[in-house]
Every structure is written in C-alpha cells, then in structure tokens.
Structure 1
Amino acid sequence: MAAKQQESRLSLKLLIDEKSNRVVAAEAHKEFVEILFSFLTLPMGTIIRVTSSGDTKNPVTSIGCMNNLYRAVEKLSNENWQTENCKTIVLRPRNPLGNYSQKLKLNIDESWSNTYYRCSRCCIWMSWYPNLSCTCGGKITRTTTAGIKNEGAFLQKGRTMFIISDDLQIRPSCPSVLAQLLYNLGLSDMDGIREMLVEVSKEQVIFLLARSLVSESALSDVFLPNNPTKHETKFPKPETESTLQTTEQNEAPTPTLNLQVTLNKSTNKILFAKATNEFFDFLCTFLTIPLGSIIHVLKRNFGGLGGCINNLYTSVEELEDKWFGSSAKSDILNAWIAQYHNCKKQPLNLDELIESKLLLDPRPNQNFAGEPLLFVVLDNLDVKPLSSASSSLILRELKLPFSDVEDQVITVGMNEALSLLKAALTSPSSALTNGLASFLQKKKLEA
C-alpha cells in the first residue's frame, strides 16, 4: 500500500464536451508530453510486454497479430535459440533511447539499464549481457555502470503548456489553437465544455499507450472509461504490389528472403508458411524495432499507421526544433534498432544504433534462432518449430481437401516486408494473408 501512495503522478487538465461525453482536448506541461513522445522510442516487444501487465494471454489491448507473435516466441524452448540471451533480446529488447526515458516523470519501461559487464581479464570488451565469452578467453562478468547525460528527457526546460487532442495531436498551447481544435469538432463556443483535473498514474499511461495504437479517441478511452462511444481506428488495407513498385525503384538494393506459403486455392487465403531460421529472425525484429522507427519505414509507402499513434508521430515532425533538446527530435522520429537487435538479412533496410564499438555481440553468428531450423508460421503469426507432429496437427485442423491446398514461394523484399509489417500491426488474425496475398495473386495469374 505504501508503494502505491509513493507512486509518481502527473496532473492533467481535461476539457470534456458534456453533450457527447468525450474528451475534446487536454492541457499539459512538457512532462506529460514527453511521456507521450517516449511511446515512439519503445520497441514493439516492450509495448506488448508492458500492456499485457505480466499476462500476455490477457493484454489490455491486442495489437494486430503482434501479441500472438510475442506469445509464440515466449513459448519456444531454449533449444530453438542460439543462446538464452537471444530469446531475452527479443522478449525484452533494449530501447536505443533508454537514457532519455530515465528522466521521465513516469517511466513505464523498466527493462532498460545503464549497467553493463566487462571482461574478467580487464581487457576493453564489454556487453549489456553477462557470462559471454570474451575474445581474449576471459568471461564477461564484472559489473560497471555507465553515466547518464544530465539533459532533460526530450523537450527544452521551461513551463510551456501544450494542447493535446483526443486523438493525440499536440501543439504548443495558444487560445487560437484551442479554438481551431474545438471548431473542427463542430463546437462554436465554450458552453457545455467542463474542465476536469486528473492525476495520471503509471497504469493509465500504459493504457494510453495501448489505446494509441488501436483507437482514435485515446484520451476518452482512458479517462472516460464508461464512454459508450469508442472510436476504433479503421486501418487501410496493405498496399498492392503495383502501388509499391513505384517507390522501390528508387530504393537501394535490399536483402531478400524466400518464404514457402501454403494457401487455400478457393479463397486465396494463406494457411501457413514454412520459414527458415533467417525468416524467423526477421519476424523477431518486429518485436525489437522501436515504434517510431516502424512508422518511419511505413511512411515511405503507407503514410504510417493511422489513428492516434500516427498523429503523435506527425506532431513530433511538425513541432519546431526549438522545443527539443539537442538531437531529440530526429532520435524520436527514427531511433533505428538497438545494437545487435537486428537480423542478418533485413529486407526493411533498418540500421542499428551503435552505442559502442567495444560491445560484444551476444548472438553467435549474428542469429537469434539456432541453425539449421525450420518453423511453421500460421496466418495469425503463431510460430512453432516444424516437426512431423506439428505438421499433422495443422493438417487436421485445416479440414480442407488436399486438392484445394497449394504451395507457392514468395521472395520477401522491401515491398513484401513493409506490407507484412503493416498487417502484423493492424490485422487481428490474418497477417500473412493481408500482408502477402496480393503478391501471390499476380504470380498465380502469370503461371
């Protein structure tokens, strides 16, 4: 009980339209805005873990098929991984901007640490993970703590107020900004608008993070939980191959992966895929990429994710540089991937943020999965090691005549990877079909 009483909270003023019982805006100091910005620095694996509150089977909000992928990775035994550290990296990925988050008034990511380990023989090599073998023959066991810069979290010091819309558009506070926001909502004056002061808890911040990914009324969802009207985000369908080809011509060559998929010929629905350890590693990076970096790569062809989280990202883009400290703005918009959290063949062309050239790679051969291994990936991104037992079980559950089942091979490059990533975040049950079926259709017609 004492811990609850000592929990940090932040004050937030809500403006509520009494007629619609909806939050139309909030007024907040920079400390709350910085918490919202920190959402974009969190890897997807961290988001799934914290919004599940320790129970990945009963999350606060399901985010596409990402929860299925996280649970599948969680259930895989250690024999499917190069080392136990590889599984830890995927389930508890390092936030490449974790040093910023340590200065937040409410920090929901407790996995980041500035403690690292050095070689027992006192050589120069180090790691964020213990018990690695050093190149000199020693063991990485000695504990050392790195310093944290003294700057603020993301924004410059000061008591500037910000206006936040229900769908997380953020602007510096100004009467004209608020008036325009209310006018856009069909309100002509302040009559019928009541103010409500709330003390924001850590649990509410986590709920706000979850709703920002699936809703267009995140503030109302969190602070007016009995609101009968919830505005779920309607995500557009993934782009077709013909739409994406125009942009890929200007991209640098990217690595490709081959994926054998089994589909129902009658419906063109992908039933499952047979994946190599390289494709499994690629799927693992869906959990290690920070949210801001995901939106950054999707904006090339898809315009982001839509809904509140896209508005939040756009708000960072549109806020003047003067509001941010040093390189905070560009860091939020594209934090890259933490060092050694990428896969060897990455069709998304994402780079790692190098924290130190003296860090040892905790993954033998730069892989997460053991070699050689094959996996079955279901349409909802549930992943299982391929075995005769799992194969027969899948065939029994399909209940389809074998004559209606067909295998095809897809070459997964930038276009296919972008489409699959988008579908993984937005489709509740059919990520493979929604992400890759359009690439199958063209091939089928040409056959």
Structure 2
Amino acid sequence: MDSTATPEQISLRVVVKKRKNRVLYAEAGKDFVDILLSFLTLPLGTIARLVSKDSNTKPCQFGCISSLYASVCNLDPKYLNSETCKQMLLQPRNPMERYNQKLKLNIDDTDPTKYYACDSCFYEDGSLVSSSENLKCECGGHSTFLLTPCKSLLCSGSDQNEIRDTRGYVKETAFFLIAEDLNIIPADLKTILCLLKNLHSKDPPQESTVVLGSNEILDLLKCLLMSKTALTDLLLGKEHSLVDSETSFETTDERRGRESTRTMKMKVLISKSKSKILFAQVEEDFVDQLLSFLTFPLGAVERVLEGNSGLVCVDKLYNSLNNFDSTGDFKSEKMKNMLADLKVAPYFKVNDQMLPIDELKCPSELSYCYSKLVRSYYLTSGKTLFSKPVARGLRMSDPKSPIMEEKSGNGYAKSRTKYMVADDLSVKPFSSHHVLSSLAKFKVHHHDLEERTICVGAQEVLSILKASLVSTSALRIGLNFFDKYY
C-alpha cells in the first residue's frame, strides 16, 4: 500500500512481527478509531448488505443474517404490515447516524433520514409527520411534502443538547494502540512501556505506514465478522483465521435466569436420523422477532450477549469500550454511555420485542418553521431560531402502521399469516409449494420426518440471535442447547 494518504484516505503506523507474518499493533488517532466504533452502530441488516458487495476481497456471508436479509428482498410486501416495512428492513436506520455522517471514511450507503408532511393538512396544528414518503394520512392525504430536519432531530432526547460536536466519537487529540483482534487501548506511558517489554526478542518488530481507503475499510468489516485476527488479515493479506461456528457457540450466562413470561408456539419439522430442524411453521409474532434482528445495531447485540457473541474481533472491539476514559478519550461521558447502550432507531422496534433492546424516542414537541434565508421548511423541536412556527404540536407517525396513527404499529409481519422459516432463517409465506420444494432439496424420506410443537421465549430468541451471527444453521444450533427440544 502507498504510504502517502490523500484526503479520502487514512494513514496507519503499523508494527509487524515479520517472521510470524503478524500485526502486533497499529497506532491510530481519531479518524480510524471513529470508524471502528461506527461498526458497532451499524444495524445487522446494513452489515449484511455491505459485506455482500465486492471490494478488494470477495463478498462474504454474515451467518444467517445474510440469508434473512435476502429473503426479505424476495418477500412480497403483501406479507408485511405495510409497503414501507420492506424498505425499513432493507435500509434500517442507524441510531447514531448523526455522528457517522462526517466520518473521514463512511462506508454506510443507507439513505439519510428524511421527514415528510401530509400534503393535505400540512399547515394545521397537530398534523402528522413521517420519516417515510407517501404514507397515507388519517385525513386521506399522503406524506409527500419534504421537510429539512434541524440537526437536533438527528439525535435523541437530551443527547442533542449535551453533545454538539457530531463528527465521530473520540476527541481530536486522542491516540490509541489497536491489536490485531481490534482490541483498542488508549495509548499512555504505561501501555507503551508494557509493549516494549513484551516485544523484546531476537527478531525485532518492523514498522511501516499503510494507507486505507473505502475498499480497505469494507474489507476490514468483512474480516471483523470472519476472523480472529482482522487487522493482520487486512494489512498483510493473510488468510482468515476463521471462527469455528460450532465450537464458538456455547451456552453462557447471558441466558440464565431470564425466564420469559411470554412464549410463542411454533411447529418444527425434524429429520430424526440427522437430529436436524429442516424448517418451522410460525406466525407473525415469531417472524417479527427475526425481522427485528436486521434493525439491531451490532453493539446492541453485543450488549445483550454480554460481549460474548462468538465473533471474536467484534467482542474485542465492543469490550474495548471499558478501556476508554469517559472524558479523556470520548467527547463526553454521555458519548461512551450511548455506545455502550445502543438502541434501535425511532419506530424500528416492534411492540412485542422480547429482547431488551430499546428504541430511541423522537422529541415530544415538534413544529414546522419557514426559513426565508434558504427558502425552506424546517422540522424542529422545542425552541427555534427561525420565524414563527407554521404549525405546532406535530405528531410523528409510525411508518410500520398501514395508516398513519399517533400510536405505534404492531410490527413488520402481517397479522394472522403463517410463515415458513428455514434453518438459515430465510422467511417465506407458508404454502404447500414451499414445503414440497424444501423437502425435495433435503432429500429426506417421509418416514424420517417428525413434527413437533415447541414453545419459544426470550431465552430461545436470544440463543437463535447468537447462532445467527456465527453459523448458517441458527434454528438447529440456537435451539440445540435447550435439551427439552431434543
């Protein structure tokens, strides 16, 4: 790699153990560390979409999340709660969108959030606003009038007043050491002296400067999901030290003691000889839990799995947050807390979400204002610097609802609909055609088939989520650790 960086590139100083063909650590400042932390804010569906693209390396599969995402691409919108639901799942909003927009290298290609007012009741106090275009309003109009959001709307609640600098996460002067597994350590004298002691050998390490562009950052995201040594694989072109999905998945403390009072019934078809789930017949409540996976930020998944997702480099990156000084490295303590407790974007949560991942809330007070300076209508919250509001007391609507309503919609999946979920979490409408074609693919004799009805609660959903990150058999692996099923 050329060591001279352009404005669209980032330079890293790298220390390499040449004989072992291994990156010992890299030195990085704000630009690169902001990018690493931004990976935690990406929804799983966004990651699946990004890693399916070519870069310097080939597209890769993100466990079962890729097949779940692909099945939504192929799903007829009539099987979802509204036409907007499909677009929401394929382009899930990043809850930290505001802080990622000015990253030096931002590989997230999701369209920025836009807001639309009803074309009929636009000037009325209490009218409805949506983050999705062309939704039907309760007055009979449609949300087609584009509004420019004030910066405060791109951040939630009190955060908008406490963190005004929206370019990334760490301070301009912060300096870090990054291990090959993406463990980030803020650099100080003690850390550097410890490294010098550990690196003392007859084979002294070599230093070099490398330059990263957008393709390399996308390559790093792919390595993050597949490897135990992402930085070495990226910078030295080394083959991935792949995570073994079968051995990396273990029952851990994050599921113990969390008995759910709510369960969902599902019918599973099992191959008795292989002790394998072929597919499940489920209703909309279970499908909503699966579709929600696509909207979860990677860091939020790490939190509910207590930093033990089975993706080694992701675990190291997330747990690195504990190494940071809240005010010395981050812009504020609030910023660190936001990254440690990531939420889904507003209106992306289903009402009956079984996992403890919350949703950002939109400001309760909204109004339209007109700026003569730029001749544009602005959507703002609270006090405004613009002229007198055109309309006050506006209500944000849930785009998942078939008709814009003040209350939240139920979820993504169409109610009273049966679905077929494969072992890799691909979702289809339930039909005899899909059943027969699946059985033909598995080549199993009907005497080898057994149908069982099982109950699934929060623990099982969490187990399936964890298995979906590291395998292509999320139902089999995720439920296999619950002995009552097998």
Contact kept in structure 2, 1:255 and 1:346, CA below 8 Å: no
Shift of 1:344: 3.1
| Aligned residue in 1 for 2:386 | none
- In the alignment, is residue 201 of structure 1 matched against residue 213 of structure 2? yes
Secondary structure, counterpart of 1:168 in structure 2:
coil
C-alpha spacing 1:181/1:109, structure 2 compared with 1 (3 Å): same
Corresponding letter in the other structure for 2:231 = L
After TM superposition, the structure 1 stretch with the greater mean CA deviation from structure 2, 320-329 or 154-163, is 154-163
| Aligned residue in 2 for 1:311 | 316
Secondary structure, counterpart of 1:213 in structure 2:
helix
C-alpha spacing 1:209/1:181, structure 2 compared with 1 (3 Å): farther
C-alpha spacing 1:190/1:334, structure 2 compared with 1 (3 Å): farther
Aligned length: 426
| Aligned residue in 2 for 1:18 | 18
Matches within 5 A, 1:146-161: 146-148=149-151, 150-161=164-175
Write the distance in 1 (CA, Å) between the matches of 2:54 and 2:128.
34
| Aligned residue in 2 for 1:212 | 224
Write the distance in 2 (CA, Å) between the matches of 1:202 and 1:14.
19
* Identical aligned residues as a percent: 35
Q: TM-score, normalised by structure 1?
A: 0.88
Secondary structure, counterpart of 2:116 in structure 1:
strand
Write the distance in 1 (CA, Å) between the matches of 2:47 and 2:347.
19
Contact kept in structure 1, 2:128 and 2:137, CA below 8 Å: yes
Matches within 5 A, 1:33-432: 33-53=33-53, 60-120=59-119, 121-122=121-122, 123=124, 124-148=127-151, 150-181=164-195, 187-189=199-201, 191-225=203-237, 227=238, 230-234=240-244, 236-240=247-251, 246-248=256-258, 253=260, 255-299=262-306, 303-322=308-327, 323-326=329-332, 327-357=334-364, 358-364=395-401, 365-427=409-471, 429-432=472-475
Write the distance in 2 (CA, Å) between the matches of 1:152 and 1:338.
17
Corresponding letter in the other structure for 2:42 = L
Shift of 1:273: 0.6
Write the distance in 2 (CA, Å) between the matches of 1:162 and 1:15.
13
Corresponding letter in the other structure for 1:17 = K
Write the distance in 1 (CA, Å) between the matches of 2:144 and 2:168.
33
User: Which structure's residues are more often helix, by fraction?
Assistant: 1
Corresponding letter in the other structure for 2:225 = L
Contact kept in structure 2, 1:51 and 1:60, CA below 8 Å: yes
Aligned residues: CA RMSD: 2.5
Corresponding letter in the other structure for 2:8 = S
Mark the runs of 5 or more structure 2 residues left unpaired by the alignment: 153-163, 365-394, 402-408
Secondary structure, counterpart of 1:337 in structure 2:
coil
Secondary structure, counterpart of 1:296 in structure 2:
helix
C-alpha spacing 1:375/1:63, structure 2 compared with 1 (3 Å): same
Shift of 1:298: 0.9
Write the distance in 1 (CA, Å) between the matches of 2:443 and 2:109.
45
Mark the runs of 5 or more structure 1 residues left unpaired by the alignment: none
Corresponding letter in the other structure for 2:400 = R
Shift of 1:25: 0.7
Write the distance in 2 (CA, Å) between the matches of 1:256 and 1:412.
5
Corresponding letter in the other structure for 1:313 = Y
Contact kept in structure 2, 1:60 and 1:207, CA below 8 Å: no
C-alpha spacing 1:182/1:262, structure 2 compared with 1 (3 Å): farther
CA offsets per residue over residues 395-422 of structure 1, 9 Å max, x none? 2233223232112222221210111001
Shift of 1:238: 4.1
